[in-house]
Structure 1
Amino acid sequence: MSDILLIEDEPIIARNISILLGRAGHTVTHAPSASAARLALGSGMQPDLVIADISLGDGDGLEVLTAHIDRLRDCPVIVMSGQDTTANRLRAEEIAVAAFLSKPFAMARLSELVAALLAQNLPQGQRRPGPSVMMYSHDTIGLGHMRRNSAIAEELVARVPGLSVLMLVGCPAGMIFAPKPGIDYIKLPSLAKLGRDRWQSGSLRIDAETASAMRAGILQQVADTFKPDIFLVDHEPTGVWNELMTPLRRLREMHGTQTILGLRDILDEPERTRSRWCETGTDKVIAGLYDDVLIYGNADFYPSSRAYGLDALRPGHVQYCGAVTTVQARRMQRREKGPRRVLVSGGGGRDAFLLLATALEAQALLPRRYRPELTLIAGPLMDNELRERLHIRAAELDVTFLDQVNDMPARIAASDLFVTMGGYNSVTEALAIGVPALVVPRVGPSSEQRIRAERLRSLGLAQVIERPDLTPKALSLHLSGTSASPSIRPAQLSLAFDGATRAAVHIAALLKQRAPKETEQSLQVSHG
């Protein structure tokens, strides 16, 4: 694709960079010294890009570049050095280098930078945008929708070279997960869910009509500008307040965007969901504006396609992917025996106060010799006033209390019991890791968590305490391990937890079908 001159005297670094860029289709000429670099540039070589170290065994990389500045006038230069000083930066600015990388740096960062500089250097008529995916998650109560999209996005950028994934998120906390190359997000004005199909502005002190207009305007502008190849919508087929209707139609009609609806395994009571879809016309939207439906679950756990009538709406285009969990959860191993540890979490934390407060009072009821090592996680969406009350009580009981964590799978794996609400992500990650779970399902606004809890209990996958039965005394028996409840029996099921991978494979295949012929080979290499 492009000719790159690499000036680097450290063999291992030079080899790694050469392999990285070679896999991307570039031709790399390696100059292992200042004299070799002078020879290459003096022989008439006209590279498309130069990557140069400053400290070379027999000279200075910046001096070499300065001596050949006329030849490199239109060539982007990346300077890298373990001596990131003001003096070196100023010297680099004098020859207008495109970027200065301080060693050590991530190879992924270098790869992204090289691709961007080479694309920028192409004539306007030869520039081709890479493949693109846009994802939507409205997120009003928890983090589940955004977590699923985030897990799929990470799998996608690892598989598809040059892919850009733009996530549209409504979570009040914004995009709380660590950024990855190729993935960015746009924050929509937050919403608060008042009840089934009822929302209001979350943080801004504006009326619902203004919030709706703002969100719809942002969505339309982004869709028209980004022009994604694939649009993946999580959970809400028409969006909140039908805000996706115009973008869905325009993307299909004007840009040929392929649209995918991603649904968790349990939505609400099946009859209620089908009736609501029929009354609002959502069933016609699914049938007419979506190419595929991906179910993030297992048919053996819950027959989502049949329960919600999806097979009839998109016959032949409904696919079970398995549960969407993080790679970390799928790879996590249970800890070895030790003092009893119990982890209590309410997911995003918006309505987790009662569960966490009850856990603290349950701990207080236990004699000290029966108390487990108890850890509570509030979640990023819990109100500060309630969070502070829990902090104070936890300190009185010598209980570990954390606002939020970025290593949840590891903490679940290190526990003997995981106490959680019935949210999709918390439950599936516990099942994937194999940690005993006690589920306390949310009461409303939908029946999702109650249905999931019933399935878990009937299949012998978890113990359940219904919200009316949640008392410190009842919970204390579980914390101490003396509960009279029957032990969990292994269910005769084969549940898949690689839903993010399967969804990414499906989307990558669609991108390959849309790819210009000159990029098909790179996509094929990545898939292999």
Structure 2
Amino acid sequence: MIRTAQVGASERSVRVMLYSHDTFGLGHLRRSRALASALTASDPSASAIILTGSPVAGRFTFPERVDHVRLPGVTKLPDGSYVSQTLGLDIDETTALRSGLIQTAVEQYDPDLLVVDKEPTGFRGELLPTLEWMAKRKSARCVLGLRDVLDEPAVLAAEWERKGAVDATERFYDEIWVYGPRSVYDPTQGLPLSDDTRKRIHWTGYLRREVTDAAETPDVPYVLITPGGGGDGQAMVSLVLEAYETDPTLTPHAVLVYGPFLSGDVRDAFDARVAKLNGRVTALGFDARIEALFAGAEGVISMGGYNTFCEVLSFDKRAVIVPRTVPRLEQWIRASRAEELGLVRMLDEKRDGMNPQTMVKFIRALPSQQKPSQAGADGLLDGLDVVVDRATALMAAR
């Protein structure tokens, strides 16, 4: 349990701040929300603020004593560059604005613990002024949180060198929390971290998920189809629809959740195809209560994002993972390792072929798959408990 922080001779409630840059997708925000929920639940007086650039942060519910600050959003273009979403500022001006807002929030909230998701220096280095300021004051503990897989080692090493991320990790962070088991994968392999920094790495295990908000679910058996945020899920969604179009006898029915970033003409075209399937596939736009849909599903077809994988394990669902391979190999590495361990099946484009007949075969085989629990998944899901223990120890030693 987190304990109240000592301030001179008095006490005050613990304050936790979590930073997730969220330039694209939902992963960083959803991971931060799960962490904030666990940390505040462990102490009825603790509070947490999430700093996020997610454009859909306002569509999520947050637990009591957890709030969020929305940073100005940015959009990643196909060439890898970024632009401001709405403000008419160039990217340098937008980054400077975000950086100032972050530092002001930290100065005013005065957290006891700052948990930074994935990017040691923040988006385009926006965290560095705040980290320098905090290091001089020595007022809070800083933790870098990493998902179980980041990218292939050589690519990750080049990226971290370009961003100055290794130096920032060495200088500013008291601990590194890897939100996965070391037995599955080491996301820091290939990074030139010092021995002293590596001693500060703690593998927490995966972050268990629960149904936090009730939602209506179909009263017939269904397979849940989810591309996560949906921004890069067009190919997977199209392939599933092709499977149901190709085989009129394919069961069970499917519930397709597009995600908030699959929209416009692309979604309209998918909706037209769904309408022709006579109710065998039901499509939803975005549901922040997707945990309830996971819990009720017969099986899952998804991409290989971190949060979706945690939900597959947490709700013990037979799953077929269709990982993306660009711009990162993260999802493919996670899915292939999980398949080796017997936790899921992976549909690999080079090995299996991305065609509707293959997808039909995988969906039909779902009932005969073993559940993740049969491969020992329950022993991999201690992440939130370990995070609470580490946070308590860090702040007690301040």
Q: TM-score range by the shorter chain?
A: 0.7 to 0.9
Partners in 2 of 1:313 and 1:136 — Cα distance? Answer: 24
Structure with the greater relative contact order (CA < 8 A, sep ≥ 6): 1 or 2? 2
Partners in 2 of 1:339 and 1:275 — Cα distance? Answer: 49
Partner of residue 103 from structure 2, selected from 204, 214, 220 = 220
Q: Deviations over 1:271-329 (max 9, x none)?
A: 22223323443111101111110000011111335454557351421101101132339
The secondary structure found in structure 2 opposite 1:166 is strand
The secondary structure found in structure 2 opposite 1:382 is coil
1:389-404 equivalences in 2 (<5 Å): 389-397=269-277, 398=279, 399-404=281-286
**Structure 2 residue 292 is the aligned partner of structure 1 residue 292:** no
TM score, norm. by length of structure 2? 0.86
Cα distance, 1:383–1:141 mapped onto 2, change above 3 Å: same
Q: Deviations over 1:139-175 (max 9, x none)?
A: 1222111111111111111122422211100112124
Cα distance, 1:276–1:323 mapped onto 2, change above 3 Å: same
TM score, norm. by length of structure 1? 0.66
**Structure 2 residue 315 is the aligned partner of structure 1 residue 433:** yes
Q: Deviations over 1:226-275 (max 9, x none)?
A: 22111110000000110000001101212522110000010011122223
**Structure 2 residue 247 is the aligned partner of structure 1 residue 363:** no
Residues 378 and 404 in structure 1, CA contact (< 8 A), matched pair in contact too: yes
Cα distance, 1:126–1:308 mapped onto 2, change above 3 Å: closer
Partners in 1 of 2:252 and 2:210 — Cα distance? Answer: 29
What amino acid does structure 2 have at the position aligned with 1:499? G
Residues 196 and 446 in structure 1, CA contact (< 8 A), matched pair in contact too: no
In structure 1, what is the equivalent of residue 385 of structure 2?
Answer: 501
What amino acid does structure 2 have at the position aligned with 1:344? I
What amino acid does structure 1 have at the position aligned with 2:299? L
Cα distance, 1:306–1:479 mapped onto 2, change above 3 Å: closer
In structure 1, what is the equivalent of residue 234 of structure 2?
Answer: 353
1:30-429 equivalences in 2 (<5 Å): 129-194=12-77, 198-254=81-137, 256-306=139-189, 308=191, 312=195, 314-328=197-211, 341-368=222-249, 370-397=250-277, 398=279, 399-429=281-311
Partners in 1 of 2:44 and 2:34 — Cα distance? Answer: 17
In structure 1, what is the equivalent of residue 358 of structure 2?
Answer: 474
Partners in 2 of 1:461 and 1:159 — Cα distance? Answer: 30
Cα distance, 1:195–1:393 mapped onto 2, change above 3 Å: closer
What amino acid does structure 2 have at the position aligned with 1:474? T
State the identity %. 31
The secondary structure found in structure 1 opposite 2:380 is coil
Cα distance, 1:418–1:486 mapped onto 2, change above 3 Å: closer
Partners in 1 of 2:119 and 2:80 — Cα distance? Answer: 10
Residues 13 and 46 in structure 2, CA contact (< 8 A), matched pair in contact too: yes
Residues 169 and 175 in structure 1, CA contact (< 8 A), matched pair in contact too: no
Cα distance, 1:441–1:211 mapped onto 2, change above 3 Å: same
Q: Which has the larger radius of gyration?
A: 1
Partners in 1 of 2:395 and 2:46 — Cα distance? Answer: 10
CA offset at residue 474 of structure 1?
1.9
Partners in 1 of 2:188 and 2:232 — Cα distance? Answer: 29
Deviates more, 1:229-238 or 1:299-308: 299-308
CA offset at residue 402 of structure 1?
1.0
The secondary structure found in structure 1 opposite 2:59 is coil
Q: Deviations over 1:66-97 (max 9, x none)?
A: xxxxxxxxxxxxxxxxxxxxxxxxxxxxxxxx
Residues 412 and 430 in structure 1, CA contact (< 8 A), matched pair in contact too: yes
Partners in 2 of 1:196 and 1:280 — Cα distance? Answer: 18
Partners in 1 of 2:297 and 2:239 — Cα distance? Answer: 19
The secondary structure found in structure 1 opposite 2:181 is coil
Partners in 1 of 2:388 and 2:31 — Cα distance? Answer: 11
CA RMSD in angstroms, aligned pairs only? 3.0
CA offset at residue 491 of structure 1?
4.0
Cα distance, 1:486–1:380 mapped onto 2, change above 3 Å: closer
CA offset at residue 341 of structure 1?
2.4
Partners in 1 of 2:39 and 2:175 — Cα distance? Answer: 17
Partners in 2 of 1:492 and 1:324 — Cα distance? Answer: 15
